[in-house]
């Protein structure tokens, strides 16, 4: 028997089967992750720290502390040493900070190593403004540094490249974690030693 089309379905088309969207394969997702860049000097302009008007901000970090912060900062996505140097230069009035200053500062070691480098002072100011803007509390070490150096106007900025220490024979010296000189040993007769303070 032959089936006859009665015309009821004449002119109608069957709807195409719906296509299920499959999740993107691993590694092929087009979603992009936005990484926020650290604040520039302009972003921190609304934060004022004591002494910045005449470049006399008291420092309460050691050189090693600032070096660590700079290395961590330069390791963030989108941060270049030349750009960071320009940011630091905007924070100081007396001396421009160049990328070579940062490079040189990072090669030194010790709590007072290269304290005369402009990257030390400007770097401290940048991170102090950043800490204040982000509402971070002072660390325990920071508070100890304030106790140790506040009476002297802050941590020394002259470094140790041209300093000498007057000592009695038999004595030895070293810097502690706060950058203060500690003398130990038993003095012996025979005169006084003039030793360079470059540790």
Shared domain check, 182 and 137: no
Within 10 Å of residue 178's Cβ, how many Cβ atoms?
A: 16
Shared domain check, 172 and 118: no
Mean pLDDT in residue range 21-25: 47
Whose tokens are 């993107």? That residue is 24
Strand partners, 182: 174
Shared domain check, 168 and 144: no
Residue 10 lies in a domain: no
Residue 50 pLDDT level (bands cut at 50, 70, 90): very high
pTM for the full predicted model: 0.73
List the structure tokens of 194.
């003039």
Looking at the predicted structure, is the pLDDT value of residue 66 above 90? Answer: yes
Distance, CA of 55 to CA of 113 (rounded, Å) = 20
The whole-number pLDDT of residue 162 equals 57
Shared domain check, 78 and 101: yes
Looking at the predicted structure, is the pLDDT value of residue 115 above 60? Answer: yes
Looking at the predicted structure, is the pLDDT value of residue 169 above 70? Answer: yes
The count of structural domains within the chain is 2
Whose tokens are 């030349």? That residue is 82
Residue 12 lies in a domain: no
Shared domain check, 111 and 59: yes
Looking at the predicted structure, is the pLDDT value of residue 193 above 70? Answer: no
Shared domain check, 48 and 140: yes
The whole-number pLDDT of residue 15 equals 43
Shared domain check, 105 and 184: no
Shared domain check, 79 and 169: no
The whole-number pLDDT of residue 181 equals 81
Mean pLDDT in residue range 61-77: 97
Residue 167 pLDDT level (bands cut at 50, 70, 90): low
Enclosing domain of residue 87: 42-152
Closest C-alpha to 125, from 159, 103, 97, 99: 97
Whose tokens are 């007057």? That residue is 166
Give phi and psi for 170, each to the nearest 5. 100, -10
Residue 55 lies in a domain: yes
Question: In this predicted model, what pLDDT tens digit does every residue of 171-192 receive, in sequence order?
Answer: 777 788 898 888 877 776 555 4
* Burial (Cβ within 10 Å: 0-12, 13-18, ≥19) of residue 39: middle
């Amino acid at each position: 028997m032959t089936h006859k089309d009665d015309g009821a379905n004449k002119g109608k088309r069957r709807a195409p089967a719906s296509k299920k969207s499959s999740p993107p394969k691993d590694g092929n997702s087009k979603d992009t992750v936005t990484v926020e860049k650290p604040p520039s000097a302009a972003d921190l302009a609304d934060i004022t720290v004591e002494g910045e008007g005449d470049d006399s901000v008291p420092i309460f970090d050691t050189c090693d502390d600032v070096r660590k912060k700079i290395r961590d900062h330069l390791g963030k996505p989108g941060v270049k040493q030349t750009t960071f140097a320009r940011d630091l230069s905007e924070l100081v009035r007396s001396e421009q900070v160049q990328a070579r200053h940062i490079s040189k500062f990072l090669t030194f070691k010790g709590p007072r190593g290269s304290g005369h480098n402009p990257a030390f002072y400007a770097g401290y100011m940048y991170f102090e403004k950043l800490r204040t803007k982000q509402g971070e509390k002072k660390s325990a070490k920071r508070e100890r540094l304030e106790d140790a150096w506040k009476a002297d106007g802050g941590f020394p900025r002259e470094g140790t490249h041209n300093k000498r220490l007057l000592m009695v024979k038999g004595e030895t010296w070293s810097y502690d974690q706060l950058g203060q000189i500690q003398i130990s040993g038993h003095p012996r007769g025979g005169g006084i030693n003039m030793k360079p303070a470059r540790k």
